[in-house]
Amino acid sequence: MNILDKIIRDKHVEVGLKKSLIPVSQLENSVLFERQTMSLATALNKSKTGIIAEHKRRSPSKSVINQNTNIQDVAKGYETAGVCGMSVLTDGKYFGGSLDDLLITRASCHLPILRKEFIVDTYQIIEAKAYGADAILLIAAILSKDEIKQFSKLAKTLHLDVLLEVHNVAELHKSIMPSLDMLGVNNRNLKTFEVSLETSKTLSKLIPDEFVKVSESGISSIESIRELQSYGYKGFLIGENFMKTNNPGESAKEFIDNLEI
């Protein structure tokens, strides 16, 4: 069993426990459930840099990345830096995140927020809305075509943007449908955790123009972004490159300032 299989196995158990404790009706009655969402896809389309900055404490491939930051400070720092949006990892067991991180981020900044999670159940989409997210991530590698359709359509009824993540041609072909806003290419192989920007380059020509193209993982240089922009990418998800520093917000600001030169 690879690491992705373990994460998904544990996620089904976790969601089952949550559903037994907090009913959907309680989520729908939350204060944030009726708030007007902000479109991450629109923000990316209008931006020259397209940086989606991530908050990530640890990962299965890197163990500890940064356990010392205050997510409130990180969110404010990212907003000051001029990022397009913020990605918040909410998986606890493998990435050290939580739904509280989502809440605190929502209260700390006015950026579109992506809930970065392994979504395997519609419950998590309703949960995302209740905790202040503006967009959700769907991972093609762990979902069937019918699940992608069901989950993305539900997200649209809740006014949440959908970023669909793929790793190869087969995943891309099963995933393209009108209920998506952004198509993300993850340069990291989720089974081996090896990274290659060639994945984004190869798949770029197969992604229809109506979707905002996002490149994810392994992006650490200005040169990489400029190269990927020439392949039609408008969004760039960067986490580790900022989070491994003592001040992620300042690191993001320096990166964006250099990108705009």
The catalytic residues are: 54, 56, 116, 165, 186, 216-217
- Please give the sequence-ordered ranges of beta strands (E in DSSP) within the chain, or none if there are none: 51-55, 58-59, 63-64, 85-89, 113-116, 135-139, 161-166, 182-186, 212-216, 235-238
Sign of the CA dihedral with 150 first, then 122, 55, and 44 last? positive
Contact present, 65 and 238 (Cβ < 8 Å): no
Identify the H or E element spanning 72. Answer: helix 71-81
With tokens 């009655």, the residue in question is 29
Q: How far apart are CA 112 and CA 133, in angstroms?
A: 8
Task: Tell me the chain's radius of gyration from C-alpha atoms.
Answer: 17
